[in-house]
Structure 1
Amino acid sequence: MSRAFIILLAVLFAASILMTGCTAVRPEAENGKLNVYITTYPLYDFTMKIAGDRINATQIIPTGVDAHEFEPSPKLMADLERSDVFIFNGGGLEAWAERVEDSLNRKGVIVVNTGKGIAKDNDPHIWLSPIRAKQQAERIYDALIKADPGNADYYTKNFKLLEAKFDDLDKKYRDTLSKATSRNIITTHAAFAYLCEDYGLNQVPITGVSPGSEPSPRRMAEIIKFIKENNIKYVFFEPLTSPKLADSIARETGIEKLVLDPVEGLTEEQKARNDDYFSIMERNLMSLKKALVE
């Protein structure tokens, strides 16, 4: 074997090592299924309704953890680099995901920013409008088809069923809220702007987009004044966060409290009832009906 040939083999071997270092090795998924990572509960629910048991799905952000504050571990980043599909909400909810989007794309991961072009004003809560949640689900469906065309018929059948559920939910919201005698809702944080925009309501939040923020005394006084001047009868609170702000407002004004769930995760009680996005949104509508229609 000539020296020149040996040198050529060494160069080719070195080049192959470098190429391997630049591209994450995507392991063979269990049973040949896609490895799909999803940041939040609503997107996980939509994904599972489309893909069912045809994928290995992982919800990244646990229930009870503020998605605004979550940061990925090195292990999670390594897992994402070896995944097939990465789905996130966007709109500023997972800043870390937006930072790594280009890098994951270069490694061959199909990345789905479900809120791109839908979210605005740095408000990520688009899933709380059935109309916009359907758009998010469609982007998930498109990504699954791209990643796994062999199961396209299965995904398409399930997505059509999911589309119909969104359309039915949208109709229920429109029909019910068209009868509202009041349009103002007092919420503990500003999660419901898209829902209010799409169904003609006016959100008056105690705090901002992040549920962890605290209102100033001036803001609390403004809310109390608004309630008294507009004959508001209910303040809405959320099941996964402290009700202390709603409690304070209720004590100061004599109004009652109702749950309006931002569907950021499932409580143990909701898990026991086998709740999902749609059942929670139906109960949200019943709360809105009680506050605004009855």
Structure 2
Amino acid sequence: MNVRRRLIPAALVSALGLGALTACSSDSAASGNTDKFDVVASFYPMAFLAEQIGGDHANVTSLTEPGQEPHDLEISTKQRAQLEEADAALYLKGLQPAVDEAVGQTGIKTKIDAAGLTHLEDHGTGGHTHEGEEGHAEEEGHSEEEEHGRDPHVWLDPVKYAEIAQGVGKAFEKADPDHAADYKKNTAALVTKLKGLDSDFENGLKNSRSKVFFTNHAAFGYLAERYGLTQEAISGIDPESEPSGARVRELQQEAKADGVTTVFYETLVSDKTAKTLARDANLKTDVLDPLEGITDKSRGDDYFQVMEANLKALRTALGAK
């Protein structure tokens, strides 16, 4: 649709003609200059919201390819041009620094930061200690909060994801008023489905043998907090960070103390550390998907299907009744 248009500098047009620049699989053939409301989303959870709320009126392009770890994204010249030609950018500030920078440098009129539509919190690698134990942060000479910033993984909490959806819907209504009624209707339908998912998790996890689960990295802090669970992550917020020997020993002791049965890993990053810990501690392994992208390895074709698969995996690992 493009409510407003701006000229692309000649140097940029020339750069786009270079053979070295190829479209990623998530790029739309017509990501801008269409007769629809053109939205560039940073990665899958944002693209899913845009598609569900925009419906037939929106043309949605994701900057992150399916199967690509979103934290590692670097913005190409082609993608910068897509941002310039879009009607709106939907992103989650703090998750992908390259996206934050690129969006900030564009003159795009509608910039929707999902982080500003809900409250972000601090979540570390672990959630509790046992009697007689002391935290390791002070031993290392710095606090846990100094090791990480605000946790960006809000989409894994259906309640917070619904809050973001409502904010995105209002932004779409304002940016494309001709289709405001449809955006409002689509947003309401999505929020209703998310409320149903929230009920599924609440009912499915309230009666379980254990409340502690191990994950590859600390992506499930919001989900754990919402449903009265404790996430113990091998690594921190960054999925590529390596755990210390002290952290691995701590988790081995934790598994015995809390009756942990399973170490969860994910599809987009290496499972080596998770499987090593599981082998050494005589635990099982399974997938708990942080839904940063949908691939052929995902246990479902969209957000809701994968979240239901996550619920099933958690119920099994926690001994839910």
| Fold agreement, TM-score > 0.5 | yes
Equivalent in the alignment of 1:119: 120
Percent sequence identity over aligned pairs: 35
Q: How many residues align?
A: 266
Q: Using the alignment, how far apart are the partners of 1:214 and 1:165 within structure 2? A: 37
Q: Counterpart of 1:203 in 2: which secondary structure?
A: strand
Point out the structure with max Rg over C-alpha: 1
Equivalent in the alignment of 1:55: 58
1:151 aligns with 2:179: yes
Q: Using the alignment, how far apart are the partners of 2:240 and 2:108 within structure 1? A: 35
Q: Using the alignment, how far apart are the partners of 2:279 and 2:169 within structure 1? A: 46
**79, 82, 86: which is aligned to 1:76?**
79
**232, 243, 249: which is aligned to 1:221?**
249
- The Cα offsets for residues 231-275 of structure 1, whole Å up to 9 and x where unpaired, read as 2111111122222122111211111112111001112144xx861
Residues 187 and 237, structure 1, Cα contact 8 Å, conserved in 2 = yes
Q: Using the alignment, how far apart are the partners of 1:234 and 1:68 within structure 2? A: 26
Letter in 1 for 2:109: V
Where structure 2 has 5 or more consecutive residues not aligned to the other structure, the ranges are 9-30, 123-149
**273, 279, 292: which is aligned to 1:251?**
279
**301, 307, 310: which is aligned to 1:281?**
307
**33, 37, 42: which is aligned to 1:39?**
42
Q: Using the alignment, how far apart are the partners of 1:176 and 1:28 within structure 2? A: 43
Alignment of 1:186-265 (within 5 A): 186-265=214-293
- The Cα offsets for residues 66-106 of structure 1, whole Å up to 9 and x where unpaired, read as 3222121223222212211000012x1022333344543xx
Q: Using the alignment, how far apart are the partners of 2:66 and 2:222 within structure 1? A: 22
Q: Using the alignment, how far apart are the partners of 1:69 and 1:235 within structure 2? A: 24
User: Which structure is higher in helix share?
Assistant: 1
Letter in 2 for 1:120: E
Letter in 2 for 1:190: A
**95, 111, 114: which is aligned to 1:93?**
95
- Once the two structures are TM-superposed, the CA of residue 201 in structure 1 deviates from its matched residue by 0.7
Letter in 2 for 1:234: T
Q: Using the alignment, how far apart are the partners of 1:28 and 1:77 within structure 2? A: 12
Q: Counterpart of 2:70 in 1: which secondary structure?
A: coil
Equivalent in the alignment of 2:109: 109
Where structure 1 has 5 or more consecutive residues not aligned to the other structure, the ranges are 1-22
Q: Using the alignment, how far apart are the partners of 1:28 and 1:252 within structure 2? A: 52
Equivalent in the alignment of 2:194: 166
Letter in 2 for 1:98: D
Q: Counterpart of 1:115 in 2: which secondary structure?
A: helix
Q: Using the alignment, how far apart are the partners of 2:90 and 2:82 within structure 1? A: 13
Q: 1:85 to 1:171 in 2, by over 3 A?
A: same
Q: Using the alignment, how far apart are the partners of 1:251 and 1:146 within structure 2? A: 53
Q: Using the alignment, how far apart are the partners of 1:78 and 1:29 within structure 2? A: 11
Q: Counterpart of 1:213 in 2: which secondary structure?
A: coil
**Deviates most, 68-77 or 211-220:** 68-77
Q: 1:72 to 1:282 in 2, by over 3 A?
A: same
TM-score under structure 1 length normalisation: 0.84
